[in-house]
A and B are shown apart, each in its own frame.
Chain A
Amino acid sequence: GAGVSQTPSNKVTEKGKYVELRCDPISGHTALYWYRQSLGQGPEFLIYFQGTGAADDSGLPNDRFFAVRPEGSVSTLKIQRTERGDSAMYLCASSPILGQGAAGELFFGEGSRLTVL
């Protein structure tokens, strides 16, 4: 697609429920990142995919959070047993690999706003 696409744009759920957030990166971008942003803060790194594999998942806060990218394109961030503290904007970004013009430039989607009641 023309840009990074994230769905849903807004998600309201109840404490304890399971949530999936989807990210469709720019076509051809092999690097994909998930970030979480709370109000008034900068984006906080969660996980980074290079192709299908999670190259760095050190930012995932606990084992309730999991992300997949089975075919190296679309990624899904999964949150189990949601807690009120999970409420935030979840941002996805993609980047071309080195050698593909604008190397290392990060392109973001519009985000998914998660509210846990």
Chain B
Amino acid sequence: KQEVTQIPAALSVPEGENLVLNCSFTDSAIYNLQWFRQDPGKGLTSLLLIQSSQREQTSGRLNASLDKSSGRSTLYIAASQPGDSATYLCAVRQFVTSGTYKYIFGTGTRLKVLA
């Protein structure tokens, strides 16, 4: 059974720091991995999608890497800003049966960037 773990559970950093969020998964047979941002009381906003054949994806100050064989992904945030404060979640997409897929989520890392 796939398990997705995110470390740390919470993180508080001063503005301007570069930081790394970690996501690990136990079953490497995944189709893709997606990083999301969630603000309090809101839905999830997609940040980056990495297909299983890719090693990394970049969007602005965000860079996500994927090492499928070791079951790990990292989300790198450069020059953090107070507006980056949110919960960051990763999810892996797995093939379940013919034509069906399941997304399995970690519990998230709660980030606070201090001004």
Contact = CB atoms under 8 A, between A and B. Distances in A.
Interface of A: 4, 6, 31, 33, 35, 40-45, 48, 50, 55-56, 89, 91, 93, 102-111, 113
18 contacts: A31-B101, A35-B105, A42-B91, A42-B105, A48-B101, A48-B102, A50-B100, A55-B99, A55-B100, A56-B100, A56-B102, A104-B49, A105-B46, A106-B91, A108-B43, A108-B45, A108-B46, A110-B43
Given A45-B104, A50-B100, 6 more contacts: A4-B43, A35-B105, A42-B107, A42-B108, A50-B99, A109-B43
B102 A111 contact: no
Contacts of A40: 107
Interface size class of B (residues with CB under 8 A): 20 to 34
Contact of B103 (A4, A45, A102, A110): A45
Given A42-B108, A106-B91, A91 B100 contact: no
B34 A41 contact: no
B41 to A, nearest CB: 7
